[in-house]
Amino acid sequence: MSFKSNAGTIIDRAINELRTGRPLIIQNNREYWMFFNIEHSQSSIFNKFNKYLIDKKYLLVTKQKANSIFNKNIKNNIYFEINHKTDTNNIVNLFINPLSKNKIIKFTKIKKFKSKKFHDVCIDLSKNAKMIPSLVFKKISDIHKQNIHDFAFKNGILLFDYKDLVNQNELISESIKLVSSAKVPLPKNQNSKFKIFKSYIGSDKHVAIIVNPNKIKKKCVNLRIHSACFTGDIFHSLKCDCGEQLNQSISYMVRNNGGIILYLEQEGRGIGLANKMRAYSLQAKGMDTIDADHNIGFHDDERDFRIAARILKLLKIEKVNIITNNKNKINSIKKSGIKVENQINTKPTLNKFNKNYFKTRIKKTGYGLKIAV
């Protein structure tokens, strides 16, 4: 079935189709391609549609994943052909289980092709679904593309023109709206208020925690942009300082005219909890936090702080003192037109589990900590 609606609704449907394991049919000019996210690319699914598809099977990966596979300085997302006799289940295992020793694909003999725009939108969809950003795809045969709409309808597959799937992150941030709010007493401040914001593309929910609302000075608001950390915020993991930063920020606001904590659904620097655990498994084998993310197929940091800027504008905040060690947050907020008056650093507690994490972030990302690591 061809899916036609406004751009935001189209992107939301595509994200959810991938997330639930369904394939997508992507139109590029007069050609049609069926894409499966690597997490749902088992051989049984392909066998169901094989009679409609040409034999050639391709694997699409990000440039970060390509560099980890080929050990070369690859500048773009790429795709390459996989032998049609290769068991797709083995390919899936290579990507879902990063420590897999499976050598079914002889990568050194593979001819690589630079991805095109319609490939890249599928990678973006996978990232926004918090899935591994790799996809298997095949072309719809010329015979069956003549009746592509009937084929899609009978098989319950949505058909998208790739041009309707561009600018995903921009549209996601623009779709954010306030949906509810209530007072929530906290141990350090019993007068706090929670405002819940929802993105209507992808359905992520973000929280603005207003600490000491009666003391906030509207001219310049204390701000902490905090990415949700299930392991650190809730279970006080020793691998990061997320929980510490959150508590230090609340304490600072209680002492200094209140403030706002933007608690964003951006687990694992934006890669999601499942992928964060995959990265942790690679770190346990010796990779640093950046290389582990690259191995799975992600950038150093996948967070989009335009989401924070959007919420601040909805809250009518124009100037902030920002509590962070991350210069990227500061630059992103400034770029959105919000003035940053002061930066307040947080101070982590070093231990044997997080020492390499800080060392890597300082060395590779310019993380603003002046500590001996």
Amino acid letter at 272?
Answer: G
Residue 47 in this model has a pLDDT that exceeds 50: yes
> Whole-angstrom Cα distance, residue 44 to residue 246?
45
Task: Check: CB of residue 301 under 8 Å from CB of residue 279.
Answer: no
Amino acid letter at 77?
Answer: N
Neighbours of 149 (CB within 10 A): 12
* Mean of per-residue pLDDT scores for the chain: 90
Nearest by Cα to 41 from 61, 18, 64, 62:
18
Distant-in-sequence, close-in-space partners of 17: CB < 8 Å, separation ≥ 6: 23, 24, 158
pTM: 0.92
In this prediction, residue 146 carries a pLDDT of: 85
In this prediction, residue 373 carries a pLDDT of: 40
Task: List pLDDT tens digits, range 134-180.
Answer: 999 999 988 888 889 998 999 899 999 999 999 999 999 999 999 99
Task: List pLDDT tens digits, range 291-303.
Answer: 999 999 999 999 9
Domains of the chain as residue ranges with CATH = 7-166 (3.90.870.10), 173-266+303-365 (3.40.50.10990)
Just list the catalytic residues. Answer: 301, 303
The DSSP 8-state label assigned to residue 193 in this structure reads E
In this prediction, residue 372 carries a pLDDT of: 43
Q: For residue 180, what are the β-bridge partners?
A: 196
Per DSSP bridges, beta strands 339-344 and 319-323 are parallel
Helix (H, G, I), strand (E, B) or coil at 106: coil
Task: List pLDDT tens digits, range 183-235.
Answer: 999 999 999 999 999 999 998 999 999 999 999 987 899 999 999 999 999 99
Helix (H, G, I), strand (E, B) or coil at 260: strand
